[in-house]
Structure 1
Amino acid sequence: MKKAFLFIENQAFNTLLELAVRTKERGYTNLLIFRKMQPHEKEKLNEYERRHQHPLFEQICEVECWDFNSLRDLVEDMAGKQPLAGILTISGLFTPDGLLGASVAQIASEKGLPSQSVDGLYRSNNKYLTRDALRHAGLQTVDFGLATEETSLIEHARRIGYPVILKPVNGCASQLVIKCENEQDLLQGYRTALKKLPQSIYRNLYSCTHQFTDKKGNLITFDPLRTMLVEKYIDGPEASIEIVATESEVIPLLVHDKVLVSEGDRVVYEHLLVVPPVRFTPEELENMKQYAIEVAKATGIKNSLCHVEIRYDKQSGPQLLEINPRVGGMLVTKSLETMIGFHALDAMVDLALGSFQPRPYPCASDQYGMFTLYPPHAGYFERVEGLDKLNRIPGILSSTLLFPEGTHIHGDDEEVFLLMCWVKAETYEEIQDIYEQAKREVRFHVKKEAPAL
């Protein structure tokens, strides 16, 4: 009997389809546990099936509840009808019912299939547990604390020393990352965050109260709607390292130099990244790669792509900002394919099947870059001007508008990539010039909307 590949996912629909095409081409039957599909998602799936005249998924189960026992029962029912070759989730983020990635990993492990590490997923998705794992392993990490109310908030900040950073313990998209220079900033930032978290576009992540043990064995209860991580502010140039963790080893793939990063009131914006890096010596690059390997090992991640963000302090060397047990965003998958011939989606399938075979990954020497243009604020996206001029700029290889005109977009408290570009030039300076030209040519018209009462 033909084996099935099971996807369990609640967010990344487009990536899900791309992965399912790959498993279908490998001869597997696709099964899917997914949230209720939106009309445009159903139409996209139907369009694929009309074009290819066969279903992409043999069975689709739409669910509203993501708790472990319900998922396990569904998987047990599916596995009783057809043997499973692999189980995969893409984002695996927190839901109101638990950490989806950890539930999927546990289910895969119980079925005797390759799986990620439940422990590693908690320690990489919860930023407090990440810091705790690094400290326990003796790796460089800034001082930090868990603020559950204003008294502990102030105590941690005074011990750490200003400036400090406030961030949600399980946040994403740099949402509500707040730099505080003094106690007044600290209290204002904390109160603002606690007010905004329940209304944020990621509120389903933050509504997951969960318990997990630190490395000393202390059981900690995390309520992300009422808790913020406090940590020492890290200065220095920023970079990200893409790595792959197999069952037994951790392999660095590619370093991106985040040459233009800005800090808003409540968000950190990544504007321009280049590869190969331009601001680091060979020794510093090697230090970053080795540090990323040790960070991944400390958290216990396995069978996963990983995205490690660091700042390079000239005195202490690489310092972790965060680690995510998934491939980086923006155009990182394009960069991996171009620079080292690494196909991230194929690797995700291979890891879930237990068939991933590491190899050397020499990096091309040509200079590439990726940049994003952000909306001026949240609201109704009326129209965009200048795309025709943008695409005629020499060096622009591709441009992607991520939100169609006529839709509501966010962007006041989190990174929202509205337009992404992939570029090539002879030098970093030329890439920066292309970025500056793009900013001059493109205009987003976003109508502000009245705040909810």
Structure 2
Amino acid sequence: MNKAMVFVENQAFGILVKLAKRSKERGFDNFVLFRPMHPHEKEQLKQYEQAYKQPLFDRLVETERWDFDHIKKAVEEFEKEKSLAGLICVGGFFTQDGLLGAHVAKLAEERGLPTQSVEGLYRSNNKYLTRDTLFHAGLNTVDFGLATDEESLLRHAERIGYPVILKPINGCASQLVIKCENEQELIKGFHMGLKKLPQSLYKHMYSCIHRFPDQSGKMIEFNPLTSMLVEGYISGREASVEIVVTETEVIPLLVHDKVLVTEGDRVVYEHLLVVPPVRFHDKEIQRMKEYAVKVAKATGIKNALCHVELRYDEKTGPQLLEINPRVGGMLVTQSLETMIGFSVPDAILDLALGTFKPGTYDSISDLHAMFTLYPPHSGYFERVEGLDKLKRLPGILSTTLLFPEGSYIHGDDEEVFLLMGWMRGNSYEEILSVYEEAKKVVRFHIIKKEKGK
């Protein structure tokens, strides 16, 4: 009798489908606990199943509850039908019912299955705890503080020194990342952030009040809706390091050079990433890999793919922006497959099964890049023009429109990947030229009005 792979996920539909397909190919049944699917997701699932001539999900339970007891009951129902081979949570973000990844890790641990680290998940998903962990580990990191009111906000900023960055303590998509050059901007940014957090697309994440000890053992209660992280501004060239963490090892996989990054009023936008890096020499790349490994070890993460974002300060070297205990977004999965032959779906399954075996990960020298085209503002996505022209541009290997026409786009306060492209080029100059042409040929028509009006 086949064993079942259990997927518990409330965000990442695309990678969930890819994982389910690979799980089926490896002989497992797929039991899925997922949020209610959107109509376009149901259509995508139908198309997948027609192509592969079998259901991808043997059992699908849709829910809007993510508390531990509810998930546990669902898993217990799955167990009545099949023996479980593994439990997988891809995103694992905070929900209003707690840290989803930690819930799943605890359930796996109770069953003696390979699991991620509950402590590691908290210390990497909560940005205050990440900074605290790096500080106590003696790693290169900026000064920081938790602002819960104007008094603590100003106290931390005065100690840190301007400019400072304000950000949600458990945010994603570069949402509400606010650079403040002085006290006036700081106070304005803080109150704007607290006003916008409850209205955010991610309010379900920010509504999670949780308690966890810092490295000194002090228990801290975090309320993401009424507090923000204050930290020193990090300058320098930006890059990201993809790593894989087993029970005992931390292995760097690939470094992406974020050659075009812009800082908006409250969002940081990543436009163009190149691999192999074009702005870093070999010793700098090695330093970034070694630093990323130390950061992951300090947090206590295990059995996970990790995405480490950093900037390379010319004086102090690599400095952490954030670490995420999940594979990077945009087209990182495609890049890992192309550049080093690393299969993300297989790695996630193997980590959950306890069968992952590290390989040799030497990147090919052919220059590749991923780029994102962002919506000009929030509103209803009426239509897009120029996709055919985009696909005919030299070096374009694939393009992906992430939101179907007719969707509502939240494009003002977060980094919304509306269209992504994957390409190859003979030089950075050639890649940059194609990217600039892509911005010209693609036109998004978005009606600027409030949702529901």
TM-score tier (shorter): over 0.9
Counterpart in the other structure of 1:110? 110
Secondary structure in 2 matching 1:169 = coil
Q: Which residue of 2 aligns with 1:383?
A: 383
Question: Is the alpha carbon distance of 1:197 and 1:42 closer, same or farther for their aligned partners in structure 2, counting shifts above 3 Å?
Answer: same
Q: Which residue identity does 1:114 align to in structure 2?
A: P
Unmatched tracts of structure 2, length 5 or more: none
| Aligned residue number for residue 235 of structure 1 | 235
Q: Cα distance, 1:52 vs. partner?
A: 4.2
Query: Within 1, Cα distance between the matches of 2:77 and 2:392?
Result: 53
Which one is further off, 153-162 or 400-409?
A: 400-409
The offset of 1:61, in angstroms, is 1.9
Return 5+ residue gaps in structure 1 as ranges. none
Decide which moves more: 201-210 or 2-11.
2-11
In structure 1, how many angstroms separate the alpha carbons of the residues matched to 2:100 and 2:266?
27
Deviations 1:340-399 (A, max 9, x none): 000111100110011111011011011111111111111111222222222221111111
TM-fit CA distance, 1:317: 0.5
Give the Cα–Cα distance (whole angstroms) in 2 for the partners of residues 240 and 140 of structure 1.
Answer: 16
- What's the counterpart of residue 418 of structure 1? 418
User: Residue in 1 aligned with 2:43?
Assistant: 43
Secondary structure class of the residue paired with 2:376: coil
Per-residue Cα deviation, 1:132-181 (whole angstroms, up to 9, x for no partner): 01011110100000001111000000000000000000000000000000
Distance in 1 separating the partners of 2:72 and 2:386: 50
1:3-402 alignment to 2 at 5 Å?
Answer: 3-402=3-402
Distance between the aligned counterparts of 1:67 and 1:451, measured in 2? 29
SS at match of 1:270: strand
Asked whether the equivalents of residues 167 and 176 of structure 2 are also in contact (C-alpha less than 8 Å), the reply is yes
Listed one character per residue, the Cα deviations across residues 46-98 of structure 1 (whole Å, up to 9, x for unaligned) are 44444544332222222221111221222123223321110101100000000
Q: TM-score, normalised by structure 2?
A: 0.98
Give the C-alpha shift of residue 452 in structure 1: 8.3
Contact 2:408 2:451 in 1 (8 A): no
Identity among equivalent pairs (%): 67
* Distance apart, 1:42 and its partner CA: 3.0
Separation (CA, whole Å) in 2 of partners of 1:272 and 1:40? 28
Which deviates more, 12-21 or 298-307?
A: 12-21
Q: Secondary structure of the equivalent of 2:321?
A: strand
Secondary structure, in 3 states, of the residue corresponding to 2:234?
coil
* Structure 2 SS opposite 1:350: helix
Q: Give, in whole Å, the separation in 1 of the partners of 2:383 and 2:37.
A: 26
- How many matched pairs? 453
The alignment's TM-score, normalised by the length of structure 1, stands at 0.98
Alignment partners' CA distance in 2, 1:279 and 1:71 = 46
Give, in whole Å, the separation in 1 of the partners of 2:390 and 2:51.
Answer: 32
Question: What do the CA deviations read for 1:198-224 (whole angstroms, capped 9, x no partner)?
Answer: 011011000000000001000000000
Q: CA RMSD in A?
A: 1.3
Q: Counterpart amino acid of 2:321?
A: L
CA distance in 2, matches of 1:403, 1:288: 34
Partners in 2 of 1:351 and 1:16 — Cα distance?
15
One-letter amino acid matched to 2:398: S
CA contact (8 A) 2:2 2:28 kept: yes
* Range 165-174 or range 433-442, more displaced: 433-442
Partner Cα distance (1:39, 1:263) in 2: 34
Residues 281/50 of structure 1: CA separation in 2 closer, same or farther (3 Å cut): closer
| SS of equivalent to 1:356 | coil
Corresponding position of 1:407: 407
Residues 30 and 129 of structure 1, relative CA distance in 2, 3 Å threshold: same
Question: Counterpart of 1:449 in 2: which secondary structure?
Answer: coil
1:277-297 Cα deviation digits (max 9, x unpaired) = 011111111110000000000
Where 2:415 maps in the other structure, the secondary structure is: coil
CA deviation vs aligned residue, 1:286-331 (integer Å, no higher than 9, x gap): 1100000000000000000000000000110000000000011111
Q: Provide Cα deviations, 1:430-449, integer angstroms capped at 9, x if missing partner.
A: 11111111112222121110
